[in-house]
Amino acid sequence: MKRLLITGATGFIGGFLAEEAIRKGFHVIASVRKKSDLSYIKHLQLEYVELDLSSSASMVSILNEVKPDYIIHNAGLTKAASQAEYDVVNADYTNNLALASMQAEKIPAKFLYMSSLASYGPADFQSDDTVMEHHTPHPVTMYGRSKLKAENMLKSIPGLNYLIFRPTAVYGPREKDLFTVFKMVDKGIAVHTGKGDQKLTFIYVFDLIELMLRSLENNAVAKSYFVTDGKVYNTKDLNRIIGENLGKKTVKIGLPLTIISIVGLVSEWIGKLSGKIPSLNRDKLNEIKASNWQCNAEPLFEDTAYRPQVTLEDGLSRTVKWYRANKWI
């Protein structure tokens, strides 16, 4: 039984990842913190450890105890007030864990890092109209820059058998960020920016997990992949499909980018007063303003011999059913 260490196992992706990995026969070791909410994984038969990601030395001793065959580093920071804060958690901590894995008595066969399409930024900057591996990254957010920094750190570690996954928007049951769109549509409001023709890409959480687990047991190392379902959509598509599944007729509202920018600035100002980081801020605005989030996931499909099975229509239908069953909407 192969031993798989997962960081971020208590979250949206990590919880489903741990569950599916166990189903596939892995012995899963979940890295959790003392205050972690174990709701998504407490029913699973797994092993728990607490890693201090700020210290490579302390992690080496724990890795020597649990001896993982593989590591999936899925933990990270998605909201922060500064670039420095993002960099410490998303880049420095990632580097610390990778270095510790190389100093352990048993070096993991693969170190899979969950990065993000944000590390390369939108295709707006690319002449091919699609983000590809050989392109120069153009992250437009602090979050994206921290993910790119982490990627570069991993690539600089001699002998590290890294894999880097850069998923686009991941959706499915229990997801909370895209959930805001579901709530608006449920209230009869379908908002889009500009003309609503922004090119968007998505990946259903279970397709992402299948790709991750398959990549652990093939021969690919020292590779980076973009992850989507291979299709391109726009904001109107998203609102329409959600509305159909909710059985709601919507009022379609197109907001000029200038208006959204003002709302973002006001939201950030209110956030500073309350001490909370709002979902809509100036950093997030840079993603919203981008017109094209196409990327090339074909290399991943080829290396894993798997192509995503869940269409956006089917995935959103399953997600709506889960939200309703669990009284989120």
pLDDT tens-digit readout, 115-152? 999 999 999 999 889 999 999 999 999 999 999 999 99
Closest among 145, 124, 25 to 80, alpha carbons compared: 145
Average pLDDT over residues 302-319: 97
Whether 101 and 152 have beta carbons less than 8 Å apart is answered as no
Q: What is the DSSP letter of 295?
A: B
Q: What is the C-alpha separation between 72 and 63, in angstroms, rounded?
A: 13
What local confidence, expressed as pLDDT, does residue 252 receive? 85
Q: What is the C-alpha separation between 20 and 64, in angstroms, rounded?
A: 25
Structure-token match 């490579």, residue found: 56
Handedness of CA 174, 142, 86, 75 (dihedral sign): positive
Query: What value does the mean pLDDT of the chain take?
Result: 92
214 backbone dihedrals φ, ψ, rounded to 5°: -65, -35
**Is the pLDDT confidence value at 180 over 70?**
yes
**Is the pLDDT confidence value at 103 over 70?**
yes
Rounded to 10 deg, the angle between the 179-186 and 235-246 helix axes is 60
Model pLDDT for residues 18-52, shown as the tens digit of each residue: 999 999 999 999 999 888 899 999 999 999 999 99
Average pLDDT over residues 99-108: 97
> Quick one: pLDDT band at residue 276, thresholds 50, 70, 90?
confident
How many CB atoms sit inside 10 A of residue 315's CB? Answer: 23
Q: Does domain 3-176+201-233+292-309 have CATH number 3.40.50.720?
A: yes
Give the alpha-carbon dihedral of 224, 110, 40, 56, to 10 degrees. -100
Q: What is the C-alpha separation between 55 and 216, in angstroms, rounded?
A: 26
Average pLDDT over residues 251-256: 78
What local confidence, expressed as pLDDT, does residue 269 receive? 65
Rounded to 10 deg, the angle between the 257-274 and 282-289 helix axes is 160
Residue 27: partners with Cβ closer than 8 Å, 6 or more residues away: 1, 2, 3, 4, 46, 47
